[in-house]
Amino acid sequence: MEKEKVIIFDSTLRDGEQTPGSKLNMDEKLKIAKQLAKLNVDVIEAGFPISSPGELDAVKEISRQVKGPTICALARCVKEDVDAAWEAVKEAEKPRIHIFLGVSNIHMEQKLHKKPEELIEQAVQTIKYARQFTDDIEYSPEDATRAQEDYLFRVIEAAIEAGATTINIPDTVGYSVPEEFGALIRRINENVKGIENAVLSVHCHNDLGMAVSNSLSAIKNGAKQIECNVNGIGERAGNASLEEIAVALRIRQDMFAHYTDINTQEIYRTSRLVSKLTGIPIPVNKAIIGINAFAHSSGIHQDGVLKDKRTYEIIDTDLIGGKPAQMLLTARSGRHALKNELQATGYTIPEEEFEDFYERFVELADKKKGVYREDIEALVFEHLSFTEPTYKLDYLQTVSGSKSIPAAIIRLIKGDEYFEEVAIGSGPIDAAYNAINKITGINITLTSYNLSAVTGGRDALGEVTVKINHNNKDITGRGLSTDIIEASIKAYINGINKLMKMNDVKNGIHSQ
């Protein structure tokens, strides 16, 4: 049977970034976009340019630098949004503008306060307006699965007639179940006039945990494009997970007449990169990429796997380019072994920075029994987020206990000056952050804090990602240590150092 290609539209940088606490800066967005190109997605929805000048710049830079996939920008159904979207993607090799407008009664009446016919006219005029810039226009009738079907069909017909080339059916609130959603897609394919002139796409949210099933049901019923996100991140409970769709289509080829062009070997790396840069941890039991996805706990299972992996494993880790945690290196492994391992993980450290990196590796290996691939990746990420420090941690001491008030003494070095402060807080980390704030005098809000253990075991590295905000600027800081309080403090100082580099820290008492 001839297989049909499914277009993979990745919205990690747009809907994925709508995950609370996952704000990315331009550099982080670019890194992810470049990795998505290696993963070989067909379309990258790079952002929502009207939302902020920083977002517009980030989408612009991705359009300039990332070659291969179509680069798409989101716009509400108004001219100003379309102008911003076009401004952001016009330099892309293959630009796309994605326009959306609500179609369910609840959206039309309660959010848009307009009559259904007025909204059809608004869609038609905006699509025609966007067509003067590019002939690749995607149109999404938002909340399509809760709309009245005859109205939805009329909207789609009008959108295609006005020039939309992709029609995306969003299950905006994740309300559908697979049979129902597949049947809707089939009826659209069979009944909407002109649908053969457009690519039919789906965009499923995971509120009832059915985003992937709904998307797969849709392609069985004629959808040609799936919108999905790495690690399934996205608004509320997230979107359909890219890796689950790509691997399901590969492993169950017997059940689907479809394939994707996803380079599955890049899944593991992409997933880790997105998790590290967004600060959203991957649940241990997450299908395909969770650390337990290839781990066997019960004796019966372990025995079976030792006899023949196929007893309890349906996916080979090689397919997704990932390896289970295995002790690899020790402090005595040497530079050559470290270089080999870096090559195997696919990360590059410039030659002139290797010696520094090696020193960090030895420092870590001295503290741990063995260094795992995940530890090396964490060191690489710490290295990548390194910024020439304005402040360095010189000394820390914290107090905590069931009967004592948490307190911290922190000493930082800036140039050849030392600054020391004492503070209390709701816990030792809060106390340490308060002491650092006293030293720097910078007005900072901590918007998110995430701590994860890089591997298992009592000597595991703790990896902390913090998001801080200063004057509406979001900055990510990272810290790594076998001591989680030290990792937390390093992450906070890393964020502050990045902020200092941005040159607009006005309140810092030591920033002159």
Which residue, 17 or 142, has its beta carbon nearer to ligand KIV? 142
Q: Which does 345 bind (CB under 5 to 8 A by kind): Zn ion, ligand KIV, none?
A: none
Q: Could you say which of 15, 244, 377, 382 contacts ligand KIV (CB under 6 A)?
A: 15
Q: Which stretch binds Zn ion (CB under 5 A): 7-15, 121-129, 382-390, 494-502?
A: 7-15
Which residue, 198 or 500, is less far from ligand KIV as judged by CB? Answer: 198
Residues 159-188 that bind ligand KIV (CB under 6 A): 168, 170, 172
Q: Find all residues with CB under 8 Å of 499, minimum gap 6, and list them.
A: 442, 444, 468, 470, 473, 475, 505
Q: From the list ligand KIV, Zn ion, none, which binds 69 (C-beta under 5 to 8 Å, kind-based)?
A: none
Q: Which position's Cβ is nearest ligand KIV? A: 170
With CA atoms as reference, report the closest residue to 370 among 406, 403, 333.
Answer: 333
Minimal distance, residue 43 CB to Zn ion, in Å: 15
Pick between residue 172 and residue 476 the one whose CB is nearest to ligand KIV: 172
Size of interface with ligand KIV, in residues (CB under 6 A):
9
Structure tokens at 322: 């990932």
Q: How many residues bind Zn ion (CB under 5 A)?
A: 1
- Note whether 229 binds ligand KIV by CB under 6 A: no
Q: Give the single-character DSSP code of 309.
A: G
> Which C-beta is closer to ligand KIV: that of 32 or that of 169?
169
What residue spans of 90-195 are helical by DSSP H? 105-106, 116-131, 149-162, 178-191
Closest contact distance (angstroms) between CB of 235 and ligand KIV is 7
Strand blocks (E) in 220-273: 225-228, 258-259
| Choice from 7, 14, 15, 467 touching Zn ion (CB under 5 A) | 15
Our finding on whether 171 is near Zn ion (CB under 5 A) is: no
Q: How far is the CB of 493 from Zn ion (least distance, A)?
A: 36
In the complex, least distance from residue 141 CB atom to ligand KIV, rounded to whole angstroms: 9
Residue 316: how many CB atoms within 10 A of its CB?
11
Nearest to 198 by CA among 139, 283, 110: 139
CB of 320 to ligand KIV, least distance (A): 26
Q: Which does 142 bind (CB under 5 to 8 A by kind): ligand KIV, Zn ion, none?
A: ligand KIV
Q: Which stretch binds Zn ion (CB under 5 A): 9-17, 55-63, 154-162, 418-426?
A: 9-17
CA torsion angle 236 241 242 246 (round to 10) = -160
Shortest distance, CB of residue 166 to ligand KIV, whole angstroms? Answer: 11
Classify 220 as helix, strand or coil: helix
Q: Cβ(69)–Cβ(93) under 8 Å?
A: no
Question: Which one of the spans 11-19, 40-48, 60-68, 420-428 is the region binding Zn ion (CB under 5 A)?
Answer: 11-19
- Within residues 385-414, the interface with ligand KIV by CB under 6 A covers none
Q: Alpha-carbon distance 222 to 187, whole Å?
A: 10
100 makes contact, choosing from Zn ion, ligand KIV, none, with CB < 5 to 8 Å by partner type, with: ligand KIV
**Under a CB-based contact definition with an 8 Å cutoff, are residues 17 and 278 in contact?**
yes
3-state helix, strand, coil in the chain (%, to 5): 45, 20, 35
Cβ closest to ligand KIV, residue 100 vs residue 175:
100
H/E run at residue 419: strand 417-424
Name the closest residue to Zn ion (Cβ). 15
Q: Which residues contact 144 (CB under 8 A, 6 or more apart)?
A: 103, 104, 152, 169, 170, 171, 172, 184
Sign of CA dihedral 262, 264, 270, 275: positive
Tell which one of 9, 86, 100, 381 touches ligand KIV (CB under 6 A).
100
CA distance 407 to 178: 53
Please say which residue, 45 or 486, places its beta carbon nearer to Zn ion.
Answer: 45
> Of ligand KIV, Zn ion, none, which one does residue 467 interact with (CB within 5 to 8 Å by kind)?
none
SS (H, E, C) 361-412: HHHHHHHCCCEEHHHHHHHHHHHHCCCCCCCEEEEEEEECCCCCCCEEEEEE
Member of 23, 60, 96, 203 binding ligand KIV (CB under 6 A): 203
Greatest Cα pair distance in the chain: 74
End-to-end CA distance of the chain: 70
Stated length of the chain? 512
Q: Which is nearer to ligand KIV, 160 or 362 (CB)?
A: 160
Closer residue to ligand KIV in complex, CB, 35/172: 172
Q: How far is the CB of 4 from ligand KIV (least distance, A)?
A: 23
CB of 312 to ligand KIV, least distance (A): 36
- Contact residue for ligand KIV among 140, 241, 275, 385 (CB under 6 A): 140
Rank residues 55 and 463 by Cβ distance to Zn ion and give the closer one: 55
Which residues lie below 8 Å from residue 318, measured CB to CB, with a gap of 6+?
A: 265
Residue 357 structure tokens: 């990196």
**Which residues lie near Zn ion (CB under 5 A)?**
15
**Which residues lie near ligand KIV (CB under 6 A)?**
15, 100, 140, 142, 168, 170, 172, 203, 205
